[in-house]
Amino acid sequence: MLPADLSLTDPLLLAQALIRCPSVTPDDAGAIAVLETALTRLGFRCHRLTFSADGTPDIVNLYARRGEQGRNLCFAGHTDVVPPGNGWSRDPFAAEVVDGVLYGRGANDMKAAIAAFVAACARRLQAHDGSLPGSVSLLITGDEEGPAINGTVKVLGWLAEQNETLDACVVGEPTNPRTLGEMVKIGRRGSLNGCLTVWGSQGHVAYPHLADNPIPRLVALVQALIGTPIDQGSSHFQASNLEITSIDVGNMATNVIPAKAEARFNVRFNDLWSGETLEAHLRQRLQAVCDDPALWDLAISVSGESFLTQPGPFTEVVEQAIRSVTGLSPDLSTTGGTSDARFIKNACPVLEFGLVGQTMHKANENCSVADLEALTSIYERVIDGYFACKA
């Protein structure tokens, strides 16, 4: 529960309240209720949205908006966290502050950033007689660290059904490698997973002519995938990268030629490709080595397409807010993994900026209280700057 006398202008207090909800995906553990209470107190209209799908857990999400007119600036994030794991020197859900550092699962990724944005809204309201310069909203999911099926995607679908438009979005994922203000993510690489299965026929190792060993063929096919770079990168993206993540035969016998061998891989790809064109390119490489479709199979799944928010007025607003607080000019980057920005980019321009990410998903996850305060000031300037910008 959120204490009635808790000051919403202090991001630390709300961050602690959120961290004390052990909301390991898919368990909400009261985190959405804490946030909903805070936003309702600030005059936001809140919609708690629970979505379901066969074979996946129900997920509680929240969409909250204050203001009805003009452009809608959205902040997106997630209240779910990964399991705490072992190796903590303190309770991962106690939200202790020690020597100016807030510890807890979610302190870095990304409950503290949510608290910073709420505090930025609260300060803006306090300083301007209860008004915001335009429509401000929050899209918060409990499914970012999970399968991402009943979270942001379905909230966006619900918004479309309600004729609710997002005009720009800041995702509060931790984006800075070492120092707050170093990096803004203006895009992300796509992610393609592949499973290459190669068929042969089982037999005795002493009689190889009576069998067909699939392993040498698998080795040749894998070499076709990794032997030459996929591309050299593009103006805003590094080169696409294919990593073999598993090679498995499942054969425990020393005197048996197996009938099947399998390799799994992931490709993080840039904006030179779509998932579809990249799959076609990979199949061409494999067919050049073995053109018999009966001898191998490639199963592909794409968990996210690459995207880029072109530098312009929106990115400049965020850059200026960062410079005014930290004195740093951030890199506009597309590095790293995927986030829910990969879904939001279909609705509006989106970028990511949050805390320093060195401890996310680790034991003793933490954030500097000074960084939390600075992030709140940056978000407050983003709100003012966005609505002051004509474009």
pLDDT digits 0-9 by tens, 51-74: 999 999 999 999 999 998 889 999
Structure tokens at 86: 């072992």
Residue of 28, 109, 143, 144 marked catalytic: 144
Q: Bridge-partner residues for 261, per DSSP?
A: 198
**Cβ distance 114 to 20 under 8 Å?**
no
CA–CA distance, 264 with 244 (Å, rounded to integer): 6
pLDDT score at 391: 60
Q: What confidence score (pLDDT) does residue 338 get?
A: 86
Residue 209 token pair:
């002519």
Q: Is 143 a catalytic residue?
A: no
Say which DSSP state 240 is in. P
The CA distance from 243 to 328, in Å, is 34
Q: Kindly give the interhelix angle for 369-388 and 111-127, rounded to the nearest 10 degrees.
A: 60
Q: Which of 151, 173, 160, 159 is nearest to 64 (CA)?
A: 159
Catalytic residue among 80, 145, 271, 279: 80
Residue 342 exposed, middle or buried by CB count within 10 Å (0-12, 13-18, 19+): buried
Look at residue 13 in the predicted model and tell me its pLDDT: 97
Distance (Å, whole) CA 127 – CA 135:
17
- Residue 40's SS3 state is helix
* CA gap 36, 44 in Å, rounded: 9
Tell me which amino acid residue 37 is: T
* Tokens, residue 16: 């602690």
Q: Which residues pair with 333 in a beta bridge?
A: 185
Q: Does residue 80 have an active-site annotation?
A: yes
Q: Which of 82, 72, 4 lies closest to 348, judged by CA?
A: 72
Distance CA 279, CA 286 (A): 11
Contact 348, 74 (CB under 8 A): yes
pLDDT at 389: 86
Strands 72-78 and 135-141: parallel
* All domains of the chain in start order, with CATH: 11-188+306-388 (3.40.630.10), 191-303 (3.30.70.360)
**Taking Cα atoms as reference points, which of 384, 350, 387, 386 lies closest to residue 173?**
350
CB 390 within 8 A of CB 211: no
CA distance 118 to 42: 9
Task: Specify the residue for token string 């303190």.
Answer: 90
- Residues 6+ away with beta carbon under 8 Å from 129: none
Beta carbons of 218 and 290 less than 8 angstroms apart: no
Which residue ranges in the chain fall short of pLDDT 70?
A: 391
